Amino acid sequence: MSFIPNRRKFLTSRHVALSVVLAASLFGCNRNDRRIDLDEFMQMREEFVQSEQEQRPKARPATLSSGLDRETVGPGDVIELSFPGAGLDPIFAAMMVRVDRRGNIDLPLVGDVHVGGMELEDVEDAVAAAYVPEVVKDASVHAILKKAAPTSVLVHGAVTKPGLTKLRRTERNLLHAIHRAGGLSEISAATVTLSRLGSPGEDVTVNLSTPEGLSQALALAPLEDGDIVTVQSAKVNAIFIGGLVNAPRTQIYPPGVKINSLQALAAAGGLRTDVFPKEATLVRRMPNGEDVHVRINLARLANGDDPNLMLAAGDILWVPETAATRVQDWINKNIFIRAGLNASMSYNVSGSEFLNRRGSQGIGGGGGGLQDQFDPFGFLNRGAGINAIQTQGGG
């Protein structure tokens, strides 16, 4: 008994029923499909963006804290005092004094004088007032800040040089602290949290990538010894690709890298070629915490008829099985494999490809090939256009 008649008889007993299933798969609809169309998703995304912009407070001009925009003295600073015109009186010789933890300096004859937080001109007035008129009738004072005690803060997280950072008196804000720590690293999310040693539990978080965040950072009270600056890392840029692709996996990219739908599918090895999926599903978590399922037409995507969406971190792009792909897969695994085994012959082609190779079936002209009998709607051929995404760029 020859191989071809047996195979034709085997297929003939089923091709009518399978053609009906394929037709139903092509033209039928899934009543349980709750996915939204791409246009509806684009409109929804635009509404979220507009709502976020309306709720965002207007940016105010960034101004330095009043504690940083002037040269002041504080605990640990060393000040040189001189008294021009005081003559040879040794009491008024030039002297070096250190500001104590209370902000005072100890002067001969008059004792403690408070100068903490003062500018140098105010220090001169305070020292002169301490001596006039109780000690002398008149005095001229000149003050020089010889050494400013640094402020030590801990900067860690997504910076280039994390660790203990020393700041000058006029640098005690978040921007200078991060700059002294080498700046933001490549994995930084530009979100910074300030934890104050003197105010535990009252952390402040700002986003330095926005004008509002910069204004807030510059308006904060000056940093003090022991404050902790934490620069948060960006979220892992992971995209999940699965379903009817050749290499389903989690794709991880550096923070900030933008990947579109076609690039993600290409990185997944493209669509499977033994079946021909028509649609994909994008699952995205919206700002309100809701997961939205978006229907994507793969043929329109490949042809450029639909937008090539940029994927966001955490997106799921799934190419699901359908009734049509299950039928195709069943044909590949059952009809042609069994036919080959029964005839003691091996085939390295899929069922879809075999149906489209007229010469492999030993059928001459006039009667039409198995594709004409089994695939009257041309479904298998149409799938070839979808697979062009394997060779296209990201767009």
247 and 366 inside one domain: yes
331 and 227 inside one domain: no
The residue out of 98, 130, 147 marking a domain boundary is 147
Cβ neighbors of 364 (< 8 A, separation 6 or more) are none
295 and 351 inside one domain: yes
User: Per the domain annotation, does 71 fall within a domain?
Assistant: no
Rounded to the nearest 5 percent, the helix, strand and coil shares of the chain are 35, 25, 40
CATH number for the domain harbouring residue 126: 3.30.1950.10
Pairs from 353-356 (Cβ < 8 Å, separation ≥ 24): 355/331, 355/380, 356/380, 356/381
What is residue 56's predicted lDDT score, i.e. its pLDDT? 55
User: Per the domain annotation, does 63 fall within a domain?
Assistant: no
Where does the chain have alpha helices with state H?
3-27, 38-55, 120-131, 174-180, 211-219, 261-267, 298-303, 323-330, 336-342, 351-355, 370-374, 379-386
244 and 371 inside one domain: yes
CB 224 within 8 A of CB 198: yes
What is residue 87's predicted lDDT score, i.e. its pLDDT? 59
Whole-angstrom Cα Rg for the chain: 38
Range of the domain at 296: 1-57+236-395
189 and 242 inside one domain: no
What is residue 394's predicted lDDT score, i.e. its pLDDT? 45
User: Per the domain annotation, does 246 fall within a domain?
Assistant: yes
What is residue 388's predicted lDDT score, i.e. its pLDDT? 46
d(CA 311, CA 46): 15
242 and 357 inside one domain: yes
What is residue 31's predicted lDDT score, i.e. its pLDDT? 57
What is residue 33's predicted lDDT score, i.e. its pLDDT? 76
User: Per the domain annotation, does 64 fall within a domain?
Assistant: no
The residue out of 117, 147, 177 marking a domain boundary is 147
Does the predicted TM-score (pTM) go above 0.75?
no
116 and 30 inside one domain: no
Tally of domains in the chain? 3
251 and 334 inside one domain: yes
User: Per the domain annotation, does 293 fall within a domain?
Assistant: yes
What is residue 48's predicted lDDT score, i.e. its pLDDT? 73
User: Per the domain annotation, does 118 fall within a domain?
Assistant: yes
The residue out of 233, 268, 293 marking a domain boundary is 233
336 and 243 inside one domain: yes
326 and 211 inside one domain: no
287 and 196 inside one domain: no
What is residue 18's predicted lDDT score, i.e. its pLDDT? 54
User: Per the domain annotation, does 70 fall within a domain?
Assistant: no
Strands 111-114, 310-311: parallel, antiparallel or unpaired by DSSP? Answer: unpaired
CATH number for the domain harbouring residue 197: 3.10.560.10
Q: Which structure tokens are listed for 281?
A: 């599903």
**If we measure between CA atoms, which residue out of 304, 365, 363 comes closest to residue 5?**
363
Helix (H) / strand (E) element for 238: namely strand 237-243
pLDDT in tens, 145-183: 888 888 899 999 999 999 999 998 778 889 999 999 999
Q: Which structure tokens are listed for 280?
A: 């994909």
282 and 385 inside one domain: yes
**Per-residue pLDDT of the chain in tens (395 residues, 90 and over written 9):** 443 444 444 444 455 445 545 555 554 455 567 888 888 888 887 877 777 666 655 544 445 444 555 678 888 899 999 888 765 566 677 889 999 989 999 998 899 999 988 889 999 999 999 988 888 888 889 999 888 888 899 999 999 999 999 998 778 889 999 999 999 887 788 899 999 988 888 899 999 888 888 888 888 888 988 999 999 987 778 899 999 999 999 998 877 788 899 999 999 999 998 898 999 999 998 878 889 999 999 999 999 999 999 998 889 999 999 888 888 888 888 775 554 444 444 444 454 454 445 444 444 444 444 444 444 444 444 444 444 444 444 44
User: Per the domain annotation, does 65 fall within a domain?
Assistant: no
